Amino acid sequence: MGSSQSTSEEVRELVGKTGFSSDQIEQLHRRFKQLSGNQLTIRNLRKAPTGLADEINFEDFLTIMSYFRPIETNMDEEQLEHCRKEKLRFLFHMYDSDSDGRITLEEYRNVVEELLSGNPHIEKESARSIADGAMMEAASVCVGQMQPDQVYEGITFDDFLKIWQGIDIETKMHVRFLNMETIALCH
Amino acid sequence: MLPATLPLLGMPLSGAGAGVADGAAGESVLPPAGLALLRWQWHEVEAPYLVAVWILVASLAKIVFHLSRKVTSVVPESCLLILLGLVLGGIVLAVAKKAEYQLEPGTFFLFLLPPIVLDSGYFMPSRLFFDNLGAILTYAVVGTLWNSFTTGAALWGIQQAGLMAPTVRAGLLDFLLFGSLISAVDPVAVLAVFEEVHVNETLFIIVFGESLLNDAVTVVLYKVYNSFVEMGSVNVQAIDYVKGVASLFVVSLGGAAVGLVFAFLLALTTRFTKRVRIIEPLLVFLLAYAAYLTAEMASLSAILAVTMCGVGCKKYVEANISHKSRTAVKYTMKTLASCAETVIFMLLGISAVDSSKWAWDTGLVLGTLFFILLFRALGVVLQTWVLNQFRLVPLDKIDQVVMSYGGLRGAVAFALVILLDKTKVPAKDYFVATTIVVVFFTVIVQGLTIKPLVKWLKVKRSDHHKPTLNQELHEHTFDHILAAVEDVVGHHGYHYWRDRWEQFDKKYLSQLLMRRSAYRIRDQIWDVYYKLNIRDAISFVDQGGHVLSSSGLTLPSMPSRNSAAETSVTNLLRESGSGACLDLQVIDTVRSGKDREDAIMHHLLSGGLYKPRRRYKASCSRHFISEDAQARQDKEVFQQNMKRRLESFKSTKHNVCLSKSKLRLRKAGRKKDGSADKDTPNGKPHRASNLPDTAAVILAVESEEESDSSETEKEDDEGIVFVARATNEVFREHKVPGNGSMEVCPSPRIIPPSPTCAEKELPWKSGQGDLAVYVSSETTKIVPVDMQTGWNQSISSLESLASPPCAQAALRAAHPLACAPPRGDELRDPLAALVTPSPEPHAGFTFAPSLAKAGRSRSESSADAPEQQELQPLMAPEDRGCLSPGTANARWLIQFNRAGRL
């Protein structure tokens, strides 16, 4: 791997791992080099909070991208379920910033605040109350009726699955990966 | 709206109805001899009268159909209406000896079709529509072209083969013309049938979107062929074919452009209707109709124009117009559309009776039926195969079956075939008969069978779950993620461009087309949140009493009662409603269950119900609909519930922020004592507390939507709430400046309920000997409890008396506006003057200062919170005359709570 031309074994290995076609891997590799400035890895430029990787190599890059592959048409139920779970797990980790297996209220709030940050007129407080409402809703969906002294600590992955029950994630979470050389030079 | 349209409808229909001369019996031929006591003026009202009667008959028929659930669940309404039309037409034919009341193309295109198209365009799920735009356009353009060519050519083929009677004199062009009008899937028929079938939304939007958008193709083909036929096939030059192809683009793009221009105008107009709310719904209809007529005038695709107008304007119009106008628009649109649809189907049935226009040819009829089914299916399969090469979510075989079978023909085809010129198209009568048969076959046979078919094929049905906040949030996050990933991958696809469009919309379009106040709070997530809150508040109020009576003091265990769809925030709210019980639950020495229930009921009612108060608002205007009492009360109840909810959030938040250990969902109690005052929109700072304590820096975390919307919705009056509250902290006071609104409710609102007698007498309560000072909300008398035990008993009854007898009340009436911008400093004091505070702090009151600092009143939820019982409204903010400095150990917290606005 790296700036040199990928050998075919490596490519084949990646095909097996990620499910991309070798053409797509070629494309993505070109894109990766473009993004990384011909380095081996892409550095995380943001002054990110702890818990984020500093840099990712091409294999990580491919793995991340593979979450956004469309589902295969010939999947059976079990594979479909598996695929769905994998996609959701990826999403879950995007919320769960400290990766303790729970989306706490604080984490949820951060997400909502960022979502609403596009509108300068909505204040942080409203974002918070929305996050609170969503959390409460999540609690009611996942736990059902809570006892008065019961405690809801955050959305676990199982709860997350429950929340997403009504949404066909497998028909939504995908991006088109092209085989042809049409990638725009965009940044 | 309906009466307004009747005269319009009447004009063209009058031509059809003019033949009825029976009613003219009363008209006298001779000049009247004297003053007639009664004059029969049938002719003056005939046309509108007939229209009204027809619509009335159709509506009554609808009612009759829906009396039996069984019938309508099996037979689509459109079938029943057509059958009814057949029967009525038969009766008219038998009575009048000639067919009357045809479906006139002019009436149909100018009056009956626009409301249906507008309705479908306006309420089109735009996101879904644009997500599938590629597929829709393919089916609409390629599919329709394919259908018309193949059907026309095949019919010509069987004529050449000699399978038709020789009386059918038609050339290839005639058949192509017929193919063009018979091949278009009809939006009215599709909508009528598919709305009852509930297939999954992708399938629905593809079939329905196709039926709407193919209008442009149909119109072009029809016009081109028609002019070719009129010119005669020998005169058609090559340049005409080129023109025909070009006109396809002109007609479709032009129609869409007209629609978008009018959508822009409409959105812009509604931005300035703030003071004339009453005409908002009218504007929507007028401009949409103007779009239709303009496109029709320029011979562009009118259906496309109205569709685009509806799709384009909805977002901005909904943001601009008031809530009531929104409801008015919605209902009027639905009423008009359903009315038009009913009339169309009924007239279709009636028109079929007129055999003078018919000329039957078995070969043509059977051939047409066979070919439209065959080529529709073939076309769908071929196009889907191509589309699936590009679609990330392919359409499977079952979808394709439903799509081909769902190609219903309807009134558009019928109106077009009636419009044919008999001198130019000699086979018109045959075409009319065939069209009627095709329409009847598709609507009745296919309409009847599509439901069982969908069931049998196990087509994915749409599940109608209510929108949840989480879902909305996740989907939004998701859109961002997808756009980001496309960016990373370096391929600018659909998500990228949608993201760009949204940015553009936010930056320029929305700012231009939305009222500033609407633009500010405009956000989809926010909308969902807002809607959920309203729904919860309503359901909470609806069910509050029920919860109590069914489960008494224990928390209602409801999961069994609610389906999964129902388990939403509503449940929690219900909990929070009954959470008032929690205080009592922890008490060992409880009284009888009845006492407790009474107490709960009392708090619930006082918390959840509207509190009458006087208002000075002259509402007698023709241009404004004054809120009726019910709406006002709903609003207040909603506000109260919001406060309650926020209380529970606060305890939740608090636990997370400070301890970071446990997130506790508390069921907030009955007292929304407004521990958190509302942040005022105009940004005046809170008056900080004047005592440098650690505690009780009250954060302004009142419901945001209230403060936000207080800017937007201005026109109702507000109460200002003064809450005296005993806490363990020293004096806090907090002020919220008035927003300078013209109308300030002169009388304050009472928020916290007073305790019931039973509660006051609870042992744990009386044992403390604490600051039990009660303020009667009506009389503003403040009475120390240990001195006035008898007072307790009478409080409840006193509260029901709404006549403040004392001087304060008079003073209040005299200065109705005095309380608008309350001055915090002075307000603290009247209480202190009147109160006899106890020298001892509460024994069991153990708030951590930090908790209080976070501004959460946890008294409701904590077991050791007796002081909530002392929460009393203080009604007399104006009596500053009797101010005196408060004693240092008087622990009163006075808060102003301007009621939020909705």
CATH number of domain containing A127: 1.10.238.10
**Same domain as A164, residue A86:** yes
**For position A176, what pLDDT does the model report?**
64
Q: Hey, of A119, A155, A165, which one would you mutate to test binding to chain B, going by the most B CBs within 10 A of its CB?
A: A119
Q: Are residues A63 and A83 in the same domain?
A: no
Who wins on pLDDT, B107 or B850? B107
Residues A92 and A126 in one domain: yes
Q: Which residues of A touch B493 (CB under 8 A)?
A: 175-176
The winner for highest mean pLDDT among B39-48, B152-161, B422-431 is B152-161
Write out chain A residues lying below 8 Å of B567, CB-based: 140-141, 144
CB contact under 8 A, A151 and B662: yes
pLDDT at B824 over 50: no
CB contact under 8 A, B469 and A91: no
pLDDT given at position B321:
86
Shared-domain flag, residues A15 and A83: no
Q: DSSP secondary structure string, A49-109?
A: PTTS-SEEEHHHHHHHHHTTPPPPTT--HHHHHHHHHHHHHHHHHHH-TT-SSEE-HHHHH
Task: State which H helix or E strand residue B304 sits in.
Answer: helix B302-320
CB A61 within 8 A of CB A32: yes
pTM, 2 dp: 0.63
User: In what helix (H) or strand (E) does residue B778 lie, and over which residues does it extend?
Assistant: none
Contact A133 B557 (CB under 8 A): no
- Measured between beta carbons, the chain B residues lying within 8 angstroms of A182 are 491
Distance CA B440, CA B86 (A): 11
A41 and A56 Cβ atoms separated by less than 8 Å: yes
Distance from C-alpha of B528 to C-alpha of B521, rounded to nearest angstrom: 12
From A126, A129, A138, residue closest to B470, measured CB to CB: A138
Are B746 and B616 in contact by the 8 Å Cβ rule? The answer is yes
Task: Give pLDDT tens digits for B506-543.
Answer: 778 877 787 777 666 666 667 777 777 777 777 777 76
Is there a single domain that holds both residue A78 and residue A62?
no
Please check whether residue A177 lies inside any domain of the structure.
no
Q: Which ipTM did the prediction report?
A: 0.79
**In Å, how far is A54's CA from the nearest CA of chain B?**
17
Q: Would you tell me the crossing angle of helices B201-231 and B411-418 to the nearest 10 degrees?
A: 10
Domain-ending residue, one of A67, A83, A108: A67
Could you tell me if A84 and A53 lie in one domain? no
Residue ranges of the alpha helices (H) in B490-585? 494-504, 510-513, 516-520, 524-551, 569-578, 581-585
Residues 540-579 of B with CB under 8 A from A: 555-559, 567-572, 575, 579
Residue A185 in domain: no
pLDDT at position B59, please? Answer: 87
H-run or E-run covering B488: helix B469-489
Range of the domain at A106: 74-172
What span, in angstroms and rounded, lies between the C-alpha atoms of B513 and B504? 13
**What 3-state class would DSSP assign to B733?**
strand
Structural domain contains residue A180: no
**Mean pLDDT calculated for residue range B862-877:** 40
Question: Widest CA span of chain A, in angstroms?
Answer: 62
In the prediction, which pLDDT does B261 show?
Answer: 94
- The amino acid occupying position B349 is G
In a domain, A101, yes or no: yes
Q: From CA B78, how far away is CA B81, in angstroms rounded?
A: 5
Which pLDDT value is given to residue A168? 65
SS3 B741: coil
Query: Chain B 335-394, CB below 8 Å of chain A: which residues?
Result: 392-394
Count up the domains in chain A and report the number.
Answer: 2
Residue A97 lies in a domain: yes
Quick one: pLDDT band at residue B216, thresholds 50, 70, 90?
Answer: confident
Tokens linked to A125 = 């407080």
Answer yes or no: do A78 and A164 share one domain.
yes
pLDDT for B544 equals 58
Q: Which of B623, B645, B648 is nearest to B900 (CA)?
A: B645
SS3 of residue B586 by DSSP: coil
What is the model's pLDDT at position B533?
77
Q: Determine the average pLDDT of the residues in A16-34.
A: 74
Higher pLDDT, residue B832 or B298:
B298
Instruction: Answer whether B446 touches A (CB < 8 Å).
Output: no
What was the pLDDT predicted at A36?
Answer: 72
User: Which of B474, B486, B652 faces A105 most closely, judged by CB atoms?
Assistant: B652
What is the residue extent of each domain of chain B? 103-340+354-457, 468-534
Asked if the C-beta of B495 comes within 8 angstroms of chain A's C-beta atoms, the answer is: yes
AA identity, residue B853: K
* pLDDT value for B707: 39
pLDDT band at A187 (very low <50, low <70, confident <90, very high): very low
Cβ of A140 within 8 Å of Cβ of B653? The answer is no
B492 vs A: CB within 8 A? yes
Question: What pairs with residue B898 in β-bridges?
Answer: B720
Tell which of A14, A48, A67 closes a domain: A67
Question: How far apart are the CA of A124 and the nearest CA of chain B, in angstroms?
Answer: 10
Select the residue of A68, A112, A182 nearest B485 (Cβ to Cβ).
Answer: A68
For the ranges A55-69, B146-160, B806-820, the one whose mean pLDDT is highest? B146-160
Between B264 and B633, residue with greater pLDDT: B264
Question: Each residue of B339-355: pLDDT tens digit?
Answer: 888 888 888 888 888 77
Residue B895 has pLDDT above 60, yes or no: no
* DSSP string across B336-380: HHHHHHHHHHHHHHHHHH-GGG----HHHHHHHHHHHHHHHHHHH
pLDDT, average across residues B207-234:
83
Which of A20, A38, A67 is the C-terminal boundary of a domain? A67
Provide the CA B758 distance to its chain's centre, in angstroms.
Answer: 44
| Residue, of B621 and A25, whose pLDDT is higher | A25
Alpha-carbon separation of residue B47 from B3, B21, B38, B660 (angstroms): 13, 12, 21, 75
Strand pairing class (A41-43; A55-57): antiparallel
Q: Cβ contacts (< 8 Å) between A151 and chain B: which residues?
A: 662-665
A13 lies in the same domain as A98: no
Same domain, A108 and A51: no
* CB-CB under 8 Å, B477 with A132: no
**What pLDDT is recorded for position B744?**
39
Task: Decide if B894 contacts B876 (C-beta within 8 A).
Answer: no
pLDDT per position as a tens digit, B109-126: 899 889 988 998 898 888
- Across A175-184, B95-104, B740-749, the highest mean pLDDT is recorded for B95-104
Q: Do A145 and B662 touch (CB under 8 A)?
A: no
Q: What is the pLDDT of residue B31?
A: 59
Instruction: For residues B656-663, give the mean pLDDT.
Output: 37
What span, in angstroms and rounded, lies between the C-alpha atoms of B839 and A70?
Answer: 72
Chain A residues in contact with B521 by the CB 8 A cut-off are: 121-122
Top pLDDT among B87 and B197 is at: B87
Q: Which of residues 515-534 of B touch A (CB under 8 A)?
A: 519-523, 525-526, 529, 532-533
Q: What is the pLDDT of residue B381?
A: 92
CB contact under 8 A, A137 and B569: yes
Query: Which of B128, B466, B491, B500 has the most A C-beta neighbours within 10 Å, making it the best mutation to test the interface with A?
Result: B491
How many contacts does A have with B, using Cβ atoms within 8 A? 194
In the three-class reduction of DSSP (H, G, I as helix; E, B as strand; rest coil), residue B769 is classed as: coil
Q: Does B460 touch chain A (CB under 8 A)?
A: no
Query: B675: helix, coil or strand?
Result: coil
**In degrees rounded to 5, what are phi and psi of residue B322?**
-75, 170
Q: Euclidean distance between the first and final Cα of chain B, in Å? A: 28
Question: What does the pLDDT average to over A172-182?
Answer: 57
Class of domain B103-340+354-457: mainly alpha
Angle between helices B524-551 and B469-489 (to 10 degrees): 150
pLDDT score at B554: 34
CA distance B86 to B347: 9
Q: Report the pLDDT averaged over residues B327-336.
A: 91
Tell whether A50 is covered by a domain. Answer: yes
Name the closest residue on chain B to residue A151, using Cα atoms: B664
With CB atoms and an 8 Å threshold, state whether B557 touches A118.
no
Beta carbons of B10 and B45 less than 8 angstroms apart = no
Kindly indicate the confidence band of residue B879, based on its pLDDT and cuts at 50, 70 and 90.
very low
User: Which of A19-28, B377-386, B482-491 has the highest average model confidence (pLDDT)?
Assistant: B377-386
Question: B449-497 pLDDT, tens per residue?
Answer: 888 888 888 877 766 666 677 777 777 777 777 777 777 776 677 777 8
Region B21-39: mean pLDDT is 58
pLDDT of res. B32: 57
Q: Indicate the residue of A118, A128, A144 with minimum beta-carbon distance to B567.
A: A144
| Mean pLDDT (chain B, rounded) | 66
Asked which of B151-165, B284-298, B581-595 is least confident by mean pLDDT, the reply is: B581-595
User: Is A168 found in the same domain as A78?
Assistant: yes
pLDDT at B635 over 60: yes
B628 band by pLDDT with thresholds 50, 70 and 90: low
Asked whether residue A181 is domain-assigned, the answer is no
Do A62 and A145 share a domain, yes or no? no
B896 within 8 A of B797, measured Cβ to Cβ? no
Query: Are A78 and A61 contained in the same domain?
Result: no
Point out which residues pair with B749 in neighbouring strands.
Answer: B721
